[in-house]
Every structure is written in C-alpha cells, then in structure tokens.
Amino acid sequence: MTLFYFVRHGETDFNANDNAYCGRSDVSLNDLGIKQSRAMAAQLEDIRFDHVYVSPLERAVQTASFVSDDFEVDERLLEIDFGNWEGLNKQQISKKYSENWNDWQTTTTGDVAAGETGETMIETFERINDLIKALNNQHPDGKILVVAHNTIIRLLFTGLIQGRWSSYRSFKCGNTSISVLKYTKDDFEFITLNDNHHLKGVL
C-alpha cells in the first residue's frame, strides 16, 4: 500500500479569481500563493515523506520547496497542454473557440483536444496514471508527496473511477489543497479530497 498526497500548487496571477487558463505557461506564485504554500507545509510538517515528486513548472517547484528541498521533477506531472486556450479565460474561450469548447464540455469519450491543438483528457490521464502506477511499484508502503496542477489531478481521479470525462470538475482542487489516495496493486481508496483547512485565516 502506498499513500499519495496530491497537492495543487499555490495561487498565481493567472488563476486568481478563476482568471486565465495557465497550462504550460511557466508563471510564479503570487504573494497569496506563497502564504498558501507556507500554510500547507505547516499542515504536513509532521508527515515524513519517503519521496517528493514535482511538476517542472515554477509554480509547482516553488510550492514543493516549502515542504522539502529534496524532490524529483517529473515531466509527466506537467499541467495539461491547453493549446490555443492558453492565457485566455472561460468567456474568451467560449466566444473564440465555441465549437471546441462545447465539445470539451460535453465529451463522453475524452478524446477532444483542448484548445484544438492541445492534449485530450485521456492523454493527460494516461501519462499521470502511468507515473502513479510506476511509483506505487517502486515505493511499496511509502508516503509520496506529489505537487502538481489542477486539471491533471482532477483528470487522474476521474479516470480512476471511470467517471464521465466531461464531469472531471466534480472533483474540486483548490490552490494548495491536499488530497490523499491509498493505492495498492489492485485497488485504490480516496482518503481525503480537497482538504484546505490549513488556509483558514490566510487572506
């Protein structure tokens, strides 16, 4: 049995107030994101992690550094490639790429490319699921911290339960939220989802 602690990075100016789709844009935490990350690290300070794996994007690396300076970067933890949606907010996307946006919102097959040229939900799920399965085999009975991004975490959880792809947003994943997954060779169990109690009092 391996325990995975999934943490979404702290806030950036891109995602403040549900603003713009950040995707592969390599942006840094804003001031609130730094405060959130400190609070998250305090929440986890009593847990001894055997390994820490982090997306190569700066916002994830910064977030992880508040927990440990000993971590491994893995490309499979990159946020989804949003294609032409990159840097746009929902209103802009729905207006400029209305057909692609509608297909993304309603897909049952998960094979719609985000932003016309980006990744599909299935492609995104498969790369992070491959990583989690590999880590489970490499670190049996370990406690693993994974610092990554909103969409890939939610797509991982959706794929694991074989849920409707277009309903991936049913899994909430706030900035520096903590979700814990118990993983065995043949099964998994959600222990905690979107825990953000550590943010109480963080402005």
Active site (catalytic) residues? 9, 79
Question: How many other CB atoms sit within 10 Å of the CB of residue 70?
Answer: 9
Q: What is the 3-state secondary structure (H, E, C) of the chain?
A: CEEEEEEECCCCCCCHHHCCCCCCCCCCCCHHHHHHHHHHHHHHCCCCCCEEEECCCHHHHHHHHCCCCCCEECHHHCCCCCHHHCCCCHHHHHHHCHHHHHHHHHCCCCCCCCCCCCCCHHHHHHHHHHHHHHHHHHCCCCEEEEEECHHHHHHHHHHHCCCCHHHHHHCCCCCCCEEEEEECCCCEEEEEEEECHHHCCCC
**Is the four-CA dihedral 89, 95, 96, 102 of positive or negative sign?**
positive
